[in-house]
Structure 1
């Protein structure tokens, strides 16, 4: 059972696995524009975080954007933070090329990927790599939401995806 700071949590939605067609979703950009999975052609690394304003989430967002930028494709960071908070974080962090997406309105991403923490209405820390054909090539759901993801494994999967 997944935990958040050692406390059991319940994940809602439909978990995905390697080989699945990546589910579509509707989320908001920091400019409040609605986008979907198909808004980002090519391969994608989808980094999912509980909140951009925490140390582990900040580090995850920075790490993927710094290391994956040379691998082609797009890195998307999805959370339930309001688009305004995401925009403020991007500006304060000096990372203007980060694509942050907010799932706060409909929980569309959370339900499609099985990452909604029922007790907190936050997204569970996870990583997905989707190839240019829309097929999931890598999945990592964290057992403990405050732990760091396996950056090396996710980046290797992203590099190998077509």
Structure 2
């Protein structure tokens, strides 16, 4: 699959999982350097929000938007994932009231498993996956132009629909 960054074309390492499939499992580190596993959230709705670099305006806005909007959801956890270092993520989070869980993919294992790794620039392609309580993908967006925002409303709507299923 290819994506662009300000019009320049980049190839990702593979194909992404599709709607209806079980999301690939992963273990990443959070800001406390503790392991976070996807299986920790079984039974909950999960938004996986990936972005290339927390230090850019679009990525910061994406993380901030899902952080704020995620607070309005009752049974949804937002996992925000990038290849940034812990220090870079901590610096960003210092000025925010962060409820979203920031995860760093230092080994690029998540990015590679999800077909989102862009080796040429060592980044993760911008994407959003919404998972139901069973870990199945119910919504997927790969943002073709990485400088663009994802469709927040569609992702949040998918999460709300899944939350309704939990009731």
Which category describes the TM-score, using the shorter chain as reference length? over 0.9
Match of residue 97, structure 2, among 90, 95, 98: 95
Q: 1:107 to 1:32 in 2, by over 3 A?
A: same
Give the root-mean-square deviation of aligned CA atoms.
1.2
The answer to whether the Cα contact below 8 Å between 2:67 and 2:98 also exists between their aligned partners in 1 is no
Point out the more displaced range, 62-71 or 147-156.
62-71
Q: TM-score if structure 2 supplies the norm length?
A: 0.91
SS in structure 2 opposite 1:160? helix
Tell me which residue corresponds to 1:53.
55
SS in structure 1 opposite 2:121? coil
Displacement, 1:14? 4.1
The answer to whether the Cα contact below 8 Å between 1:90 and 1:98 also exists between their aligned partners in 2 is no
The answer to whether the Cα contact below 8 Å between 1:47 and 1:78 also exists between their aligned partners in 2 is yes
Tell me which residue corresponds to 1:82.
85
Provide the C-alpha distance between the structure 2 equivalents of 1:124 and 1:59, rounded to a whole number of angstroms: 15
Tell me which residue corresponds to 1:122.
123
Provide the C-alpha distance between the structure 2 equivalents of 1:39 and 1:102, rounded to a whole number of angstroms: 17
The answer to whether the Cα contact below 8 Å between 2:31 and 2:102 also exists between their aligned partners in 1 is yes
Q: TM-score if structure 1 supplies the norm length?
A: 0.93
The alignment covers a number of residue pairs equal to 160
Q: 1:58 to 1:78 in 2, by over 3 A?
A: same
Find runs of 4+ consecutive structure 1 residues off by over 2 angstroms. Answer: none
Structure 1's unaligned 5+ residue stretches are none
Displacement, 1:39? 2.2
Provide the C-alpha distance between the structure 2 equivalents of 1:95 and 1:69, rounded to a whole number of angstroms: 11
Structure 2's unaligned 5+ residue stretches are none
The answer to whether the Cα contact below 8 Å between 1:9 and 1:117 also exists between their aligned partners in 2 is yes
The answer to whether the Cα contact below 8 Å between 2:29 and 2:36 also exists between their aligned partners in 1 is yes
SS in structure 2 opposite 1:45? strand
Displacement, 1:52? 0.8
Point out the more displaced range, 6-15 or 74-83.
6-15
